[in-house]
Structure 1
Amino acid sequence: MITNTELEYKGNLYPNQIVDYKRDSDKLYFTTENGVILEVTVLQDSVLRFRYATEYVFEPDFSYAISETASKGYNRLEVTENKTEYLLETSVLQLLIDKKTLRTQISDLEGNIINEDELGFHWEENYEYGGNTVKMSKITQTAESFYGMGDKATHSNLKGKRVNNWCTDQYAYGKDQEPLYKAIPFYTGLHKGKSYGIFFDNTFRTYFDFAHERRNITSFWADGGEMNYYFFYGPQMSEVVRSYTNLTGTPEMPPQWALGYHQSKWSYFPESRVKEIADNFRKLKIPCDAIYLDIDYMDGFRCFTWDKTRFPDPKRMIGELNEDGFKTVVMIDPGIKVDKDYWVYQEAMEKDYFCKRGDGPYMQGKVWPGACKFPDYTNPEVRAWWAELYKEFMAEIGVHAVWNDMNEPAVMEVPTKTAPLDTRHNYDGHPCTHRKAHNIYGMQMVRATYEGVKKYVFPKRPFVITRAAFAGTQRYSSTWTGDNVATWEHLWIANVQAQRMCLSGYSFVGSDIGGFAEQPNGELFARWIQLGVFHPFCRVHSSGDHGDQEPWSFDNEVTDIVRKFIELRYQLLPYLYTMFYRYTEYGTPMLQSLFYYDQEDTQTHFRTDEFIFGKQILVCPVQEPNAKGRRMYVPRGKWYNYWTEETIEGGKERWVTADIDKIPLFIKEGAIIPKYPVQQYVGELEIKELILDVYFKIGAENSMVYEDAQDGYDYKKGQFSLRKFKLVGKENELIIQQFKDGSYTTSYKSFKFKLHGLPFTIATIEVDNEEVPLKQIKLNGNNSIEIDKNFTELHITGK
């Protein structure tokens, strides 16, 4: 353990020797002579919380990030003391606290150091604003890698990088540009095959230095507030991410149409243009579930109004679109136009719901409508009022979903691009300035939107989208990665950002497919669609300053490729829906970077392009023009090429052919992939048969498919269907067992098994220990079998 000989160094203050120790159930308190208190809370055997107070005083213990449903409880907690340190031990971890310096060291029970303070906690008085700048420095382990941190547009491995968190409107941002739209101060560290995570729960502007300034030191600090962080231990990264996601929460299941393909632009108007777009999708048979209306549907950019010249009867239009399978999603921004004749403005003024400056006047800024005031969404009364504003839109006009943009909050024509730092906020009864509330402003706006949409689309499920977010926002909303650019570099950025967001607990994510700013050519658009259909949120969105960006906006070849991949997404909807179930239920990321998927393989630690979609599909986008294929790393194990059914052995880099009409796509051996027939929109067809693509393996593999009514809340009362499959393959034999849960009855009565890579010709088939004549089960050649969905065991033998 490092010792500290100086109390003050370069203006920083440090804890000195411990003079008091107390325990209160799961909380341990260590007090130093110079007034620092360290509170250690044991949430689980592998999850610890560290809070530091100076001058003997903690701030009120309040967090927007932590989920009310976060699980707590540990099996063992013992504290012992010796001459130089305190030793805390759970059934998983050891924590040493040095008596002289308050520095900490965390090890596993075998004594392997997982995480260790360098200078540890230190602070500097902030004479400009008051309070402290709080700091923490850790020793960077040999060959340690770092991942996570939300929407950072940089290499997936953060080693050697410095980043910061301050939700910012960054139009046409570039690679490595900082900061961006989201503030998710959570990272995972990986060294010597063991993974841990740190979540710095502080909403002030925060900074993270991953061995950038000093190559052996990792540090993080904040402009104010408390040094308050959570430590999660794996040793598997999957366990770290699940623990963090459990702490900050997961969303409910979305309506299944929210997982379809969505079309957006700034802006589709008037009504005739919206109808033309919808008609083209159906005429060209390109599946689509939602059309978006950007700010130009409003009357003078006033939220919760309609431009009656462009949209004379929105209720009728939305109803007609709905009859043709299109959901309507509308944009709502936080800036409320200063207009004494505008009812939303009037109400907010009468109720004193707008944010104010430090010396009394209302905070005012320019956005699309001109001069605007901004509701204080950190006030519970304001959130309740905002939720009610959605009543007419959702319950009466029939809008299906809402998209919150500009909610960093973005303010035009000021250098900071946002509200003044002296703006005051209620912060749920803990009054503060914008320095503290800025990073959660968008989160609390979309929280209020979510509550309103949920109330007024009931008994359907809500679907909400946000641009700005803090840790925990995933409980309320999907998101996208902001105003990107139609370049090949941004295709790379979108791929990295989506993976990083999933690793940061926020899986319902996508990018503006094709790029928001500037114009893609047909090849870039096709390649971006090929990536975008494998992102949880799948939407094309573009700015209005260039040509069109619909699937048919390029040549016929591109249109056919785009249709092919959107159809593939619709075929994979039951697989995608099952991915979402795993995410909501277990905190499993919907996209998994290769270092997450196989952290023991050090070859994965610096890979950015390849990812696992769900559990068993390997995707690697082509990210440069004129490519006929690419080199990619295939993780360990055996994989089937989706297009050729050739099997390859992973654990090495290889060349994969992928002309413009294909993306490198591989299926893990042993996987059972559920598929629906192609639909033009979710719910268009009654599913008569579930297709199960079976990829033979010698050995065992588990798969599952989750289904419910695709909307509504009956699934929470047991009205779901969860089918778990265990595949066991032998040289001349294939056994598939099914385990069923839930009381939902699916519309189909049979499975169609499509068998891939079967190394033998089928001789006999037994269903639940009874041999079945091959004619009876509609054996089609040697690769497909139809049987009743309620089987328990399918046993195929070869000859």
Structure 2
Amino acid sequence: MKFRDGMWLVAEGKRVEYAEEIYSIDESSDGKKLSLLCPTMQIRSRGDTLNRPTLTIDIEAVTDGIISVEVTHWHGALNKPPHFELFPGGEPSVEAKLQKSSSGTTLSSGAISAAITSEPHTFDIRFHSTDGKHKLTSLLNRSVALAYDPATSSPMQTSDMREIHHYVLTQTTLGVGEQVYGLGERFGALNKVGQSVSLWNADGGTSSEQAYKNVPFWLSNRGYGIFIDAPERVELEIGSERCCRVQTSVEGQRLKWYIIYGPSPKEVLDKYTILTGRPGKVPPWSFGLWLTTSFTTEYDDKTVSSFLEGMKERDIPLEVFHYDCFWLRAFHWCDFIFDTKSFPDPKSSIARFKASGLISKVCVWINPYLGQRSPVFAEAASKGYLLRRKNGDIFQWDLWQAGMGLIDFTNPAACDWYVACLNKLFDIGVDALKTDFGERVPSRDVQWHDTSVDPGKMHNYYAFIYNKLVYEALQARYGADQAVLFARSATAGTQRFPLQWGGDCESTFEAMAESLRGGLSLGLCGYAFWSVDIGGFEGTPDAAVYKRWVQFGLLCSHSRLHGSNSYRVPWLVDDDDQSEEGCSAVLRKFAQLKCRLMPYLWSESQQAIKHGWPVSVRAMALEFPEDRTAWSCDTQFMLGSRILVAPVFDQSGEVEFYLPTGKWTSWWDGKAIEGPKWVKETHGFTTLPIYVRQGTLLVLGKEGEKRTVWDWRQDVEVKLFEPDAETGFTLFDQEGKELGTLGAEEVNGEWKVSGQDILD
């Protein structure tokens, strides 16, 4: 939201009151917090203290490398829940330090410091590394304010705020060349400078400014990040109102954010996920290939059997089958009851599929809505399990499902009922759940069971409580480390409940690139695991798009074939082309490649959940933060820390990609290229650019491996890529227990693998 008209004028219809000076500073007794009184005019006489608002700015040392900043106008305003669950793993201690000098007061929280000026009639707060080596950002003149819309002309008007919108805003400085990343799964330009961003979950597909996963966290290439502690709608103008500032605004009386110092982007994510939660663990089987029925396609038990048998006949390793929406009866979504006309005995069918080895796990689609046609609707409504309007009516509309209501997860009884419904699915053999939707949550004219909550905050936060409930139900049934979601909506903290997928994209090369940008942005917000609809969701992919998407999708941490009104089994895409470049052969090759990579992927995932880093897709800048070019790469990614992947987005097979400093070895032919360098290649459908970083040791499954899960000490191949004395690989078992480390040593001028005794 813009509050100004250019540099000099206030926007029409708005009134903005800026903090003009730091009048006084109060210290907390423990020395961890400073409270700044900031009038909205310079106080030069006693009369200036009258008839003017003030803003209070509380600056607090939180933990090493993190300082919070909270701006408040009227302290009497309620700060209603919900609030983000911060420090879910326990709050670390902090050693705060206060220093005073003639120039001002400095509060240090480990590696980060905030310096507040003592210059009279001046507003100046600067954030820097405590060692003085790095300037981060600042709050300078006219950078903290309250605003009214419509504009008020007298304080008397604020005695009735029912028709007046009140905002609090801050503007942090953008340095020369500074870039901004993250803010959830955003599908536009990777660098957000120049963009207006509204953090408000919406079901908008992958080709607009709307996003399913709005996360109020952004990462700067200057070695810091900012987490905005606001579940409600947050509006950002990132160099788009003032070119040299990031403006953050919320409607309300207070705005709080945390500045997090790295200095590397990996260290920023590490600290950010201490604050909002580490990514949860996922079981190794979930890395295998998933196949769905697609959305509106006609299918029944016979169709499913034919798909699974077809994959087996073509030697394509398949781990999970997913039943999408129409496993349920029409107009009954989502009451958890199989359509018996299409699936007369789902428990027996699922058991048969698993016993025959066609799949190992089953997933079904669910959402938090309930169509009124189902008898379950009446039950839920009568027991108070559905969200209500303020007049007492059940909130309903006809969007998506006729007369649908929304499960009210602020009601503990509704949560228990919902989990009981899920347990019935687990009883018939369901192992994982696709938690679709959760974005279309009304914020006006509604009354939640928990009457204390703010409906505006509940809109985004609903994604958190919905996915948390389902994830914990899976954990309770299958074990803490065996829970897997395929979730669409998210906000800050939802990384704790993996995994997330990229929403509804078109079946085009352009949408494939949009999806990659979305995954890169989400990964820069602490999400370790991510997937995408292979082949695209909307429309029917031609064979070229399908095969290129297969290559990309099988090199994401998780891989699922999915579509809307057309199937995604390969033989239906190209009339069952039997050549080595046919859809089936390409899918087989890359599914087997992923199986072969499992020891590496599993090792990388252990680091990802420990630190809050993405396994794949990982932005190049996380591995090469000192490389300016790496920050701009949005058509390639790192698969873990050692492997670079550049998907092909063109019918011709031509692809251009960037190799940072060092030697990079082609996965396919072993040729090495010295970076930094832009490279152009042309690839058929059996390859794409995959390059291994210098100094890498990989433990891999044997060529043609078809298993996702096996003992990774056996039936493996160990490969060195331009090794050095620091080269190593830590092997983990399927529970995440460290088995040992392999290294490289030079013997008589040749590099050999050391520590192989950990392998059987």
Q: TM-score range by the shorter chain?
A: 0.7 to 0.9
- Give, in angstroms, the shift of residue 488 of structure 1: 1.0
- Give, in angstroms, the shift of residue 111 of structure 1: 5.7
Alpha-carbon separation, structure 2, partners of 1:587 and 1:691: 29
Q: Indicate the residue corresponding to 2:655 in structure 1.
A: 630
The question of whether the paired residues in 2 share the 8 Å contact of 1:355 and 1:373 is answered with yes
Q: Indicate the residue corresponding to 1:582 in structure 2.
A: 607
Give the secondary structure class of the aligned counterpart of 2:404.
strand
Alpha-carbon separation, structure 2, partners of 1:45 and 1:251: 21
Alpha-carbon separation, structure 1, partners of 2:601 and 2:133: 41
Aligned match of 1:73 in 90, 93, 97?
Answer: 93
Alpha-carbon separation, structure 2, partners of 1:684 and 1:142: 51
TM-score, normalised relative to structure 1: 0.83
Q: Indicate the residue corresponding to 1:405 in structure 2.
A: 436
Alpha-carbon separation, structure 1, partners of 2:757 and 2:134: 52
Q: Indicate the residue corresponding to 2:173 in structure 1.
A: 139
The question of whether the paired residues in 2 share the 8 Å contact of 1:29 and 1:37 is answered with no
- Give, in angstroms, the shift of residue 558 of structure 1: 2.5
- Give, in angstroms, the shift of residue 679 of structure 1: 5.0
* C-alpha distance after superposition, 1:24-45 (max 9, x if no partner): 4364141426453322232222
Does residue 148 of structure 1 match 2:168? no
* C-alpha distance after superposition, 1:698-728 (max 9, x if no partner): 443232222225xxxxx6xxxx233223324
* C-alpha distance after superposition, 1:60-119 (max 9, x if no partner): 686235241155223x42223456632213442221124656642101222642111143
- Give, in angstroms, the shift of residue 542 of structure 1: 0.3
Q: Indicate the residue corresponding to 1:722 in structure 2.
A: 739
Give the secondary structure class of the aligned counterpart of 1:465.
coil
Alpha-carbon separation, structure 1, partners of 2:379 and 2:393: 18
Aligned match of 2:137 in 107, 115, 118?
Answer: 115
Q: Which amino acid aligns with 2:415?
A: R
* C-alpha distance after superposition, 1:201-252 (max 9, x if no partner): 2122112222123222221212346311111111111111111122211233
Give the secondary structure class of the aligned counterpart of 1:136.
strand
Does residue 30 of structure 1 match 2:50? no
Aligned match of 1:198 in 184, 204, 226?
Answer: 226
Alpha-carbon separation, structure 1, partners of 2:753 and 2:623: 25
Give the secondary structure class of the aligned counterpart of 2:237.
strand
Alpha-carbon separation, structure 2, partners of 1:310 and 1:223: 49
- Give, in angstroms, the shift of residue 298 of structure 1: 1.0
Q: Which amino acid aligns with 1:249?
A: G
Give the secondary structure class of the aligned counterpart of 1:561.
helix
Give the secondary structure class of the aligned counterpart of 2:306.
helix
Q: Indicate the residue corresponding to 1:279 in structure 2.
A: 309
Q: Indicate the residue corresponding to 1:751 in structure 2.
A: none
The question of whether the paired residues in 2 share the 8 Å contact of 1:329 and 1:401 is answered with yes
Give the secondary structure class of the aligned counterpart of 1:41.
strand
- After TM superposition, the structure 1 stretch with the greater mean CA deviation from structure 2, 721-730 or 149-158, is 721-730
Alpha-carbon separation, structure 1, partners of 2:747 and 2:15: 68
Alpha-carbon separation, structure 2, partners of 1:330 and 1:439: 24
- Give, in angstroms, the shift of residue 731 of structure 1: 7.1
Q: Which amino acid aligns with 2:351?
A: G
Alpha-carbon separation, structure 1, partners of 2:174 and 2:757: 56
The question of whether the paired residues in 1 share the 8 Å contact of 2:541 and 2:573 is answered with no
The question of whether the paired residues in 2 share the 8 Å contact of 1:675 and 1:691 is answered with yes
Q: Which amino acid aligns with 1:342?
A: P
1:426 to 1:308, Cα distance in 2 relative to 1, 3 A = same
Q: Indicate the residue corresponding to 1:457 in structure 2.
A: 478
Alpha-carbon separation, structure 2, partners of 1:250 and 1:198: 17
Q: Which amino acid aligns with 2:342?
A: R
- Give, in angstroms, the shift of residue 535 of structure 1: 0.9
Structure 1 alignment gaps of length 5 or more? 1-5, 410-417, 710-714, 739-786, 792-799
Aligned match of 1:419 in 413, 425, 442?
Answer: 442
Give the secondary structure class of the aligned counterpart of 2:419.
helix
Alpha-carbon separation, structure 2, partners of 1:375 and 1:30: 41
* C-alpha distance after superposition, 1:499-529 (max 9, x if no partner): 2211111121111111100111111111111
TM-score, normalised relative to structure 2: 0.87
1:639 to 1:77, Cα distance in 2 relative to 1, 3 A = same
Q: How does 1:718-757 map to 2 (within 5 A)?
A: 720-729=737-746, 732-734=749-751, 736-738=753-755
Alpha-carbon separation, structure 1, partners of 2:594 and 2:203: 31
1:687 to 1:288, Cα distance in 2 relative to 1, 3 A = farther
Q: Which amino acid aligns with 2:132?
A: E
Q: Indicate the residue corresponding to 1:667 in structure 2.
A: 692
Q: How does 1:575-654 map to 2 (within 5 A)?
A: 575-591=600-616, 592-627=618-653, 629-654=654-679
Q: How does 1:534-613 map to 2 (within 5 A)?
A: 534-544=555-565, 546=566, 548-550=568-570, 553-554=573-574, 555-556=577-578, 557-591=582-616, 592-613=618-639
Does residue 11 of structure 1 match 2:15? yes
Does residue 292 of structure 1 match 2:322? yes
- Give, in angstroms, the shift of residue 353 of structure 1: 2.1
Give the secondary structure class of the aligned counterpart of 2:669.
coil
The question of whether the paired residues in 1 share the 8 Å contact of 2:59 and 2:68 is answered with yes
Alpha-carbon separation, structure 2, partners of 1:360 and 1:636: 64
Does residue 237 of structure 1 match 2:271? no
Give the secondary structure class of the aligned counterpart of 1:470.
coil
Q: Which amino acid aligns with 1:89?
A: S
Q: Indicate the residue corresponding to 1:771 in structure 2.
A: none
* C-alpha distance after superposition, 1:610-647 (max 9, x if no partner): 221101101111111112x4221101111111111011
Q: Which amino acid aligns with 2:517?
A: V
- Give, in angstroms, the shift of residue 166 of structure 1: 1.1
Give the secondary structure class of the aligned counterpart of 1:599.
coil
Does residue 182 of structure 1 match 2:213? yes
Does residue 104 of structure 1 match 2:125? yes
Give the secondary structure class of the aligned counterpart of 1:21.
strand
1:101 to 1:686, Cα distance in 2 relative to 1, 3 A = closer
The question of whether the paired residues in 1 share the 8 Å contact of 2:645 and 2:689 is answered with yes
1:146 to 1:596, Cα distance in 2 relative to 1, 3 A = same
Does residue 124 of structure 1 match 2:142? no
1:686 to 1:655, Cα distance in 2 relative to 1, 3 A = closer
1:30 to 1:495, Cα distance in 2 relative to 1, 3 A = same
Q: Indicate the residue corresponding to 1:374 in structure 2.
A: 406
Alpha-carbon separation, structure 2, partners of 1:527 and 1:54: 53
Aligned match of 1:93 in 103, 107, 112?
Answer: 112
The question of whether the paired residues in 2 share the 8 Å contact of 1:121 and 1:135 is answered with yes
Alpha-carbon separation, structure 1, partners of 2:572 and 2:714: 31
- Provide the identity percentage: 22
1:62 to 1:284, Cα distance in 2 relative to 1, 3 A = same
Alpha-carbon separation, structure 2, partners of 1:73 and 1:225: 29
The question of whether the paired residues in 2 share the 8 Å contact of 1:335 and 1:373 is answered with yes
Q: Indicate the residue corresponding to 1:63 in structure 2.
A: 83
Does residue 43 of structure 1 match 2:66? no
Q: Indicate the residue corresponding to 2:363 in structure 1.
A: 329
1:451 to 1:24, Cα distance in 2 relative to 1, 3 A = farther
1:621 to 1:128, Cα distance in 2 relative to 1, 3 A = farther
* C-alpha distance after superposition, 1:339-378 (max 9, x if no partner): 4x623x2442233121122333221122444111111223
- Give, in angstroms, the shift of residue 534 of structure 1: 1.3
Q: Indicate the residue corresponding to 1:320 in structure 2.
A: 352
- Count of paired positions: 706
Structure 2 alignment gaps of length 5 or more? 1-7, 40-52, 150-160
Q: Which amino acid aligns with 2:92?
A: K
Alpha-carbon separation, structure 1, partners of 2:80 and 2:211: 29
- Give, in angstroms, the shift of residue 681 of structure 1: 4.9
- After TM superposition, the structure 1 stretch with the greater mean CA deviation from structure 2, 371-380 or 140-149, is 371-380
Alpha-carbon separation, structure 2, partners of 1:116 and 1:686: 50
Give the secondary structure class of the aligned counterpart of 1:364.
coil
Give the secondary structure class of the aligned counterpart of 1:469.
coil
